[in-house]
Amino acid sequence: MSTFQDLGSLLLVRGADELDHAGGTLYVHLHRVAKRLRTLGASETLVIAGLAHAAYGTDGFPTHLFDWQQERPVLEAVIGTDAELLVYRYGSCERETTWRDLAEHNTVTDRFTGTSEELTTAELRDFVDLTIVNELDVLEHAPKLEPKLRPFLQEQIPRWQSLASPAVLADAHRVLDVQPQVHPA
């Protein structure tokens, strides 16, 4: 079996198909995020991280499938070090202190430990691409959140345009019906 299939089986064992989430269950949401990332040309590591992105819960979805203090090695054994680190970073991100000015400070604050980490350009791109794709999926599958989430994303996505991959940025502009910001040379 592939890493993707192994992870899908593990998510089922951990009950992802029994947790309500935007547009059905957490399991379905995780698969939609991974599929969208793949369609947008993401690396296999990012696609796998997309499938597992809520393993430790998130700042917006506190339910977790794995205990971040005890079970990181379990997830790492299935998806690899790089994908697990991205999943941890995504799940541990304290959104209020991280998201708004991420393009200026390149730093993610860990809600579990209170520490901050400055990311490289490649790490930022994966983190932001995963974040945008996740939020777009929630927007498209949770109509009750749309009145608040759409304006937030319409304001936030332009702040991240220097960080996101062109394909993810174009998808966000399409879904949000916003025009890319053009900066004079």
pLDDT class of 158 with cuts at 50, 70, 90: very high
Give the list of residues 6+ apart from residue 98 with CB closer than 8 angstroms, or none: 107, 108, 109
**Residue 48 identity (one-letter amino acid):** I
Tokens of 119: 């990311």
Higher pLDDT, 55 or 179: 55
User: Which residue is it, tokens 């025009």?
Assistant: 179
DSSP codes, 67-93: -TTT-HHHHHHHH-HHHHHHHHHHHHB
- Compute the average pLDDT of residues 80-88: 98
Using alpha carbons only, give the angle 23, 125, 131 rounded to the nearest 5 degrees.
20
Q: Would you state the pLDDT for residue 180?
A: 60
- What is the spatial distance between Cα 121 and Cα 64, in angstroms, rounded to a whole number? 28
Output the average pLDDT for the chain.
94
Report pLDDT digits (tens) over 112-148: 999 999 999 999 999 999 999 999 999 999 999 999 9
Using CA of residue 111, residue 116, residue 119, residue 125, what is the dihedral sign? positive
Q: What is the pLDDT of residue 177?
A: 86
Model confidence at 181: pLDDT above 70: no
Its pTM stands at: 0.94
